[in-house]
């Protein structure tokens, strides 16, 4: 196990803006926000294994979470009320929103458990650009298989929509979400792919990915923040808030764009991008242009 580095780190406003843009742009696109943040931090000259940087990477996800709440506020409230109503009434439990709310809850549990069990591995050895490069390419194969299955089901007219989602779907997609703890896999890439393989249509899989992000990102942000308060103080409150605000604005735009994109487009362009980026990283690492940690 490679421990994180406990050093004093300074973060400029320029660096915070860049990282906020990277977080907001990649959190919901299936290209791996953690992988891109690790790359960006390396290019900005920041120590990617430092406690403060690890915590900051999780903390600016608050901006992405806030964007999700803002964009899906009415629907999130609807699901919450349906869940509460279902706890009180047998009749309310027949409503599909109650089942969907449980699918999100159940689907959020596996990644929390996995994150706690493998915290040292995730924040240590896996914060390595060799890992990011390999994961970008390897998970692209899973996404390709998912897209092929979706195409077959869509042509047959049997792809399921939101009304057909089950708690079992939420659990299975939640289990697959655990792979996103590996930098380079992508949380949205994992959950959307799992949804497609389960026979769920692309738009519904994407929306479900957004909902599953809320507990996962909130938990990660709070855990890292509370555990590294002293280290975060060295970064300065100004750059931290700047990064969160920038991440919010960019993430909101990314959500709106991705939902529109998947209505009539596959994920193949993202798959191609991931393979090209991963291959270039292997070349750069092998040539010594950049270092892995």
- Consecutive sets of 10 residues in the chain, 293 residues long: mean pLDDT of each? 54 94 94 89 85 83 92 94 91 88 94 88 83 95 96 87 92 95 92 96 94 84 73 82 95 96 94 96 92 81
DSSP state of 200: B
Do 201 and 150 contact (CB within 8 A), yes or no?
yes
Q: How far apart are CA 94 and CA 77, in angstroms?
A: 18
SS3 category, 160: strand
Measured distance CA(158)–CA(141) in Å, rounded: 23
Query: If we measure between CA atoms, which residue out of 158, 234, 151, 146 comes closest to residue 196?
Result: 146
Calpha distance 290→12 (Å, rounded): 22
User: Are the C-beta atoms of 50 and 3 separated by less than 8 Å?
Assistant: no
Q: What is the pLDDT of residue 3?
A: 45
Instruction: Please tell me the predicted confidence (pLDDT) of residue 7.
Output: 56
Place of tokens 């009180």: 88
Instruction: Please report where in the chains the tokens 């194969």 appear, as a residue.
Output: 141
Q: Which of 13, 9, 20 is nearest to 45 (CA)?
A: 9
Phi-psi region of 32 (alpha: psi -120 to 50; beta: other; left: phi over 0): left
């Amino acid at each position: 196990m490679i421990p994180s580095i406990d050093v004093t780190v300074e973060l400029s406003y320029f660096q915070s803006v860049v990282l906020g843009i990277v977080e907001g742009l990649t959190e919901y696109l299936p290209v791996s926000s953690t992988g891109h943040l690790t790359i960006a931090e390396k290019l900005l000259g920041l120590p990617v294994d430092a406690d403060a940087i690890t915590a900051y990477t999780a903390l600016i996800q608050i901006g992405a979470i806030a964007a999700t709440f803002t964009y899906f506020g009415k629907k999130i409230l609807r699901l919450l009320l349906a869940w509460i109503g279902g706890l009180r009434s047998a009749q309310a439990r027949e409503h599909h929103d109650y089942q969907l709310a449980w699918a999100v809850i159940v689907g959020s549990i596996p990644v929390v458990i996995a994150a706690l069990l493998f915290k040292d591995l995730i924040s240590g050895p896996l914060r390595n650009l060799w890992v990011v490069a390999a994961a970008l390419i390897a998970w692209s194969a899973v996404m390709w298989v998912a897209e092929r299955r979706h195409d077959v089901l869509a042509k047959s007219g049997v792809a399921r929509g939101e009304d057909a989602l089950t708690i079992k779907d939420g659990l299975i997609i939640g289990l697959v979400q655990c792979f996103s703890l590996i930098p380079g896999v992508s949380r949205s890439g994992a959950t959307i792919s799992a949804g497609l393989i389960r026979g769920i249509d692309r738009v519904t899989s994407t929306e479900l990915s957004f909902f599953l992000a809320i507990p996962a990102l909130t938990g990660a942000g709070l855990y890292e923040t509370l555990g590294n308060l002293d280290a975060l103080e060295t970064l300065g409150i100004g750059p931290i808030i700047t990064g969160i605000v920038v991440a919010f604005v960019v993430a909101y735009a990314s959500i709106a764009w991705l939902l529109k994109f998947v209505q009539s487009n596959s994920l193949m362009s993202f798959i191609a991008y991931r393979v090209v980026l991963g291959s270039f990283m292997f070349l750069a690492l092998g040539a010594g242009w950049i270092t892995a940690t």
